[in-house]
Amino acid sequence: IGCPIIGINDSGGARIQEGVVALGLYADIFFRNVRASGVIPQISLIMGPCAGGAVYSPAITDFTVMVDQTSHMFITGPDVIRTVTGEDVGMEELGGARTHNSRSGNAHYLASDEDDAIDYVRALLSYLPSNNLDEPTTFDLPADLAPSEVDLDLDKLIPDSANQPYDIKRVVEAVVDD
């Protein structure tokens, strides 16, 4: 079909009672993620806690949306971390929506609530074709091709010497549109 795939995730991971068979099924999911990568857009909505094997697939999809104070993604939860390392870490710090949106980079949008998350995905889908064989929607906007002051400032932002540091945030702000 080739249409975008949306996964709605809220999972504690594989249950021990299911044994290694459940872990083998994760391999099937990852295989499909990799086969679809670059061909079919994959979007993950994290709507609750996700632990263990349940976090790998969202981490390799194209867009991951997490809900503030509700969504969590981590391989091993705070209790195991505390038992093994003695470190006292909470769910938010370990794998909360803010952590993955601002530090790890595993998430791409921090939703205020579940409705906001769903609305964001709806908006995101409006920019994508309905399947991988269709052309994406285009928008006719007038473009001024003459270099602007911001364009010319790039010559000053990036030094000629590869050994001289510079503020990449200023470069990104100059190059990326709103």
pLDDT tens, 5-43? 999 999 877 777 777 777 788 889 999 999 999 999 999
Measured CA to CA in angstroms, residue 167 lies from 6, 63, 144, 153, 176 at distances of: 36, 26, 27, 13, 15
Q: Record the tokens describing residue 81, joined without a space.
A: 């971390």
* Partners of residue 66 on adjacent β-strands: 46, 110
According to the model, what pLDDT value does residue 130 have? Answer: 86
Q: Record the tokens describing residue 23, joined without a space.
A: 């872990």
Classify residue 53 by its DSSP letter: G
Residue 78 lies in a domain: yes
Residue 137 lies in a domain: no
* Whether residues 24 and 91 fall in one domain: yes
* Whether residues 119 and 155 fall in one domain: no
Which parts of the chain have pLDDT scores under 70?
none
Q: Record the tokens describing residue 152, joined without a space.
A: 């010319």
Which of 37, 94, 86, 85 minimizes the C-alpha distance to 61?
A: 37
Domain extent, residue 153, equals 143-178
